């Protein structure tokens, strides 16, 4: 048996990426996702593709933002790990998984093989998340009417609100940013994401009580595939009143009023309060996501 050969694809060879099965149903779950051929890599043994990986980014990004496909043939975990180790990018891995995958022995085996490849390449588990998709069949929740929502043109207002919100956050990505660079880094990463989305800046909204006190912010958005709940956050002193429910309801109404008939959202499995709000508003869990990160973040 010959050694492993790693190579990147191009326009003429991009079709080779589809030579392996997709047991996790990623292509069917994300039909609008497109990958650049030169951000796709395959591992061959004896001339046969035994592992593949795809990196993803927005259409204007010069470097990929994450790995969002990693597949391998049976007993080829090491080949998948080598695809990650030898890549010129060291970005997070974002595994999209069927909901309830732990309960299906075949799915669990396939998922754990991918986790094993990630760990063998030096990656560590960061967080497990729920993915939700709202459609009109879920029903449009009634607005509670407790808060006043308005656009806010000043980024500084959002930055300061994000600092306050993240001071008590349960979100794993935000906690990682805080550990690396404090509240300023966590707030700036959120603003950078809002700006990265192709939806209008005017969509960002602040929420206040009827007396004018700041409650939080919500960011209805569109990514490059779908309308999304970009952010829901309540400042610390306003917690305990269920206001995240109000923000999520308003975000849903806003997107529907701007033409959405499908809204994607996500939250960490460990963020039980936010998961409860999604359930109450009528967002069903459709997929799960598991994020791995590399401790050094560089090739």
pLDDT digits (tens, 9 = 90+) for 140-187: 999 999 999 999 999 999 999 999 999 999 999 999 999 999 999 999
- Tell me the β-bridge partners of 222: 227
| E-only strand ranges, the chain | 4-8, 40-45, 48-56, 66-72, 92-98, 124-134, 148-151, 205-208, 214-222, 227-234, 263-268, 285-293
- Strand, helix or coil for residue 263: strand
- Strand, helix or coil for residue 1: coil
Residue with the bigger pLDDT between 2 and 267: it is 267
Q: How far apart are CA 192 and CA 278, in angstroms?
A: 24
CB 204 within 8 A of CB 191: no
Of the pLDDT bands very low, low, confident and very high (cuts 50, 70, 90), residue 2 is low
* 298 pLDDT higher than 90: no
Query: Which of these, 155, 143, 130, lies nearest to 256 by C-alpha position?
Result: 143
- Strand, helix or coil for residue 10: coil
Q: What is the pLDDT of residue 297?
A: 75
Mean pLDDT of 184-203: 98
pLDDT, tens only, 95-113: 999 999 999 999 999 999 9
Mean pLDDT of the chain: 96
* 241 pLDDT higher than 60: yes
Q: What is the pLDDT of residue 299?
A: 58
Domain 140-281 listed as CATH 3.20.20.140: no
Q: How far apart are CA 4 and CA 266, in angstroms?
A: 37
Mean pLDDT of 179-202: 98
The CATH architecture of the domain made up of 4-129 is 3-Layer(aba) Sandwich (3.40)
User: Would you kindly state where each structural domain of the chain is located, as residue ranges?
Assistant: 4-129, 140-281
pLDDT, tens only, 269-292: 999 999 999 999 999 999 999 999
* 24 pLDDT higher than 70: yes
Q: How far apart are CA 39 and CA 64, in angstroms?
A: 8
**Phi-psi category of 257—alpha, beta or left, where left has phi over 0 and alpha has psi -120 to 50?**
alpha
* 296 pLDDT higher than 90: no
Question: How far from chain centre, in Å, is Cα 22?
Answer: 20
Q: What percent of the chain has pLDDT over 90?
A: 97
**Domain 140-281 in the same topology as domain 4-129:** yes
285 by Cβ neighbours in 10 Å (0-12 / 13-18 / 19+) ranks as middle
Q: What is the pLDDT of residue 1?
A: 45
- Tell me the β-bridge partners of 40: 54
* 76 pLDDT higher than 70: yes
């Amino acid at each position: 048996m010959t050694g492993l050969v790693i190579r990147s694809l191009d326009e003429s060879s991009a079709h080779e990426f589809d030579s392996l099965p997709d047991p996790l149903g990623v292509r069917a779950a994300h039909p609008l996702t497109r990958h650049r051929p030169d951000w796709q890599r395959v591992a061959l043994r004896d001339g046969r593709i035994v592992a593949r990986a795809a990196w993803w980014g927005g259409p204007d990004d010069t470097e990929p933002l994450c790995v969002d496909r990693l597949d391998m043939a049976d007993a080829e975990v090491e080949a998948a790990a080598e695809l990650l180790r030898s890549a010129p990018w060291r970005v997070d891995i974002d595994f999209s998984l069927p909901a309830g995958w732990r309960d299906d022995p075949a799915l669990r085996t396939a998922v754990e093989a991918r986790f094993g490849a990630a760990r063998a390449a030096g990656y560590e588990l960061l967080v497990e998340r729920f993915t939700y998709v709202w459609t009109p069949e879920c029903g449009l929740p009634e607005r509670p009417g407790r808060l006043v929502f308005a656009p806010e043109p000043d980024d500084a207002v959002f930055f300061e609100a994000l600092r306050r919100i993240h001071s008590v956050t349960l979100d794993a990505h935000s906690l990682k940013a805080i550990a690396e660079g404090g509240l300023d880094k966590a707030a700036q990463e959120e603003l950078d994401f809002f700006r990265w989305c192709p939806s209008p800046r005017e969509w960002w909204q602040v929420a206040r009580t009827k007396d004018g006190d700041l409650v939080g912010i919500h960011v209805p958005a569109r990514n490059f595939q779908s309308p999304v709940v970009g952010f829901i956050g309540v400042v610390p002193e306003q917690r305990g009143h269920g206001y995240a429910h109000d923000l999520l309801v308003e975000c849903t109404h806003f997107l529907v009023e701007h033409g959405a008939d499908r809204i994607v959202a996500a939250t960490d499995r460990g963020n039980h309060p936010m998961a409860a709000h999604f359930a109450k508003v009528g967002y069903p869990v459709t997929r799960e996501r598991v994020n791995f990160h590399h401790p050094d973040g560089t090739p």
